[in-house]
Amino acid sequence: MSDIAERVKKIVVEHLGVEADKVTENANFIDDLGADSLDTVELVMAFEEEFNVEIPDDAAETIVTVGDAIKFLEKNAG
Amino acid sequence: MKMRRVVVTGLGMVTPLACGVEETWARLLAGRSGASRIDTFQVDDLPCRIACRIPRGDGSDGTFDPDAWMDPKDQRKVDHFIVYAMAAAKQALDDAGWHPESYEDQAASGVLIGSGIGGIEGIADTALVLRDKGPRRISPFFIPGRLINLASGYVSIEHGLKGPNHSVVTACSTGAHAIGDAARLIALGDADVMVAGGTESPISRISIAGFAACRALSTHFNDEPARASRPYDKDRDGFVMGEGSGVVVLEEYEHAKARGAKIYAEVVGYGLSGDAFHITSPSEDGDGAYRCMKAALKRAGLEPSALDYVNAHGTSTPLGDEIELGAVERLMGDAASGLTMSSTKSATGHLLGAAGAIEAIFSILAMRDGKVPPTLNLDNPSVETAIDLVPHTAKEKRIDVALSNSFGFGGTNASLVFARVS
């Protein structure tokens, strides 16, 4: 697992209060991990902070699974 | 419109004395003080360095474990006043044995919890984030975690309360207004059950600084915190801030009887008035307080001489205590010598928007147990009075009717009258 994937999963576990083994790349934040629309906004903010990157709103809307976040950040971060 | 009878069937609280109603009550009767020196933030540059804080711990021996009352994931999103309300509301509903499951029961059950200053600490902190990091760093939970009515909101979601979802903000009268207004909603038929009370988490640098600037806080007892809150004593110099929440379950009388609920007391009177005088000082003639108590007794259909106990607003400020005492004396007239009145703020400190709620509960417990909680530190009363102010130690007295006063910044006054249900 890449360093980015690991950091993403850690943030998801902390913010959504879910078990680490549920945070798979296919896991959908809302359907599988119990997030609501405000949680997803906060998650994106946490990714921005952690990876020092700006995620525009239209890009944020496409990040619906853990894997989406990892892919976006692998492409755009640092 | 015919008014329905309203009774109290559940109690819950988190206070500087303890988490839990019985735990708090036992310590209050034992004369314990909840005051201590603040060690959670810098106080060296503040004139007041003490407060009455909730004892935190693992939940044993009356300590408060927030994780036992609200999911840590949700606690992160809100200011403490919401967590305290969640704890007090759960206790009250468990005590009442009211857990509505049917659509009809849920729709007939509402919530009305207020706060004086709500999420002021979170607002202050977030303002710094905005300044230092910009608007993109503002959490989506900033607003819903600070709004005062979100105490009611969170409690309603947790317990499926789909009736009136309301809140009240009247500074230090909040808790009393919340209970009084909720009782009216039941009396008028808008709900059968209401979860009502107040909650406050004011112990932060910005709140201490703000209230100190109003010259409202005690500043001469920083080295002796337990002696600082001393209502009616000649050395009093301001209130000691407290944190916590008090919540009651109010219920329409027939509804409570039909399900065999334990009934603590009936809400027989509720009075409101305004001073229209000054933003922070009570009117010097005490007329606002007098009219408020008078209105509550009129609603109850009782003469002042029927009062056995008054839980005073009595915050330990130089001005306010004597004005309230004068108003009570005027109300009682010749019956003053038969009255017992104490200020439990001498033990709990002043919980601002939660004060009226915890003090309503103390009034009800005094009635239940025939025990009057004391006014601590009342060594030398600043004025003579025929009223028994219960200095230092609790005393036994049968109480059939009790009144609880709450007055707030803005010249807002509320009085609640509770009576034994025979």
Q: Is B141 on the interface with A (CB under 8 A)?
A: yes
DSSP symbol at A21: G
**Half-sphere exposure of residue B275, counting CA atoms within 13 Å on the CB side?**
24
- The dihedral sign for the CA sequence B123, B15, B292, B341: negative
Judge whether residue B238 has pLDDT over 80.
yes
Beta strands in B30-161 (DSSP E): 35-37, 50-52, 109-114
CB < 8 Å to A19, chain B: none
Closest Cβ–Cβ partner in A17, A49, A54 for B73: A17
Q: What pLDDT is stored for residue B422 in this prediction?
A: 76
Q: Is B136 on the interface with A (CB under 8 A)?
A: yes
Beta strands in B115-230 (DSSP E): 165-166, 193-200
Mean pLDDT for the stretch of residues B85-113: 98
ipTM for the whole complex: 0.88
Å between B72 CA and nearest CA of chain A: 8
CA distances from residue B98 to B7, B69, B70, B339 in whole angstroms, order as listed = 14, 17, 19, 35
Q: Is B410 on the interface with A (CB under 8 A)?
A: no
Closest Cβ–Cβ partner in A16, A38, A54 for B140: A38
Mean pLDDT for the stretch of residues B274-302: 96
Judge whether residue B332 has pLDDT over 80.
yes
**What pLDDT digit, counting tens, does each position of B373-413 carry?**
999 999 999 999 999 999 999 999 999 999 999 999 999 99
CB < 8 Å to B144, chain A: 38
Judge whether residue A2 has pLDDT over 90.
no
Mean pLDDT for the stretch of residues B150-174: 98
Q: Which helix (H) or strand (E) holds B296?
A: helix B287-300
Confidence band, pLDDT 50/70/90 cuts, at residue A1: low
Closest Cβ–Cβ partner in B136, B137, B141 for A38: B141
Average pLDDT, chain B: 97
Q: Is there a contact between B332 and B305 (Cβ–Cβ < 8 Å)?
A: yes
**What pLDDT digit, counting tens, does each position of B47-69 carry?**
999 999 999 999 999 999 999 99
Catalytic positions of A, written as ranges = 36
Mean pLDDT for the stretch of residues A19-31: 96
> Is B172 known to be catalytic?
yes
Q: What pLDDT is stored for residue B398 in this prediction?
A: 98
Mean pLDDT for the stretch of residues A29-40: 96
Place of tokens 């009767």: B29
Confidence band, pLDDT 50/70/90 cuts, at residue B102: very high
pTM of the complete model? 0.96
**What pLDDT digit, counting tens, does each position of A56-73 carry?**
999 999 999 999 999 999
Q: Is there a contact between B201 and B54 (Cβ–Cβ < 8 Å)?
A: no
Judge whether residue A3 has pLDDT over 70.
yes
Percent of chain B with pLDDT over 90: 99
Å between B73 CA and nearest CA of chain A: 6
Judge whether residue B301 has pLDDT over 70.
yes
Q: Do B140 and A42 touch (CB under 8 A)?
A: yes
CB < 8 Å to B157, chain A: none
Q: Do B144 and A17 touch (CB under 8 A)?
A: no
Judge whether residue A78 has pLDDT over 70.
no
Q: Do B136 and A38 touch (CB under 8 A)?
A: no
Average pLDDT, chain A: 94
The residues, ordered by sequence, that sit 6+ positions from A6 with a Cβ below 8 Å of its Cβ are: none
Closest Cβ–Cβ partner in A17, A45, A48 for B72: A17
Judge whether residue B21 has pLDDT over 70.
yes
**What pLDDT digit, counting tens, does each position of B115-128 carry?**
999 999 999 999 99
Judge whether residue B1 has pLDDT over 80.
no
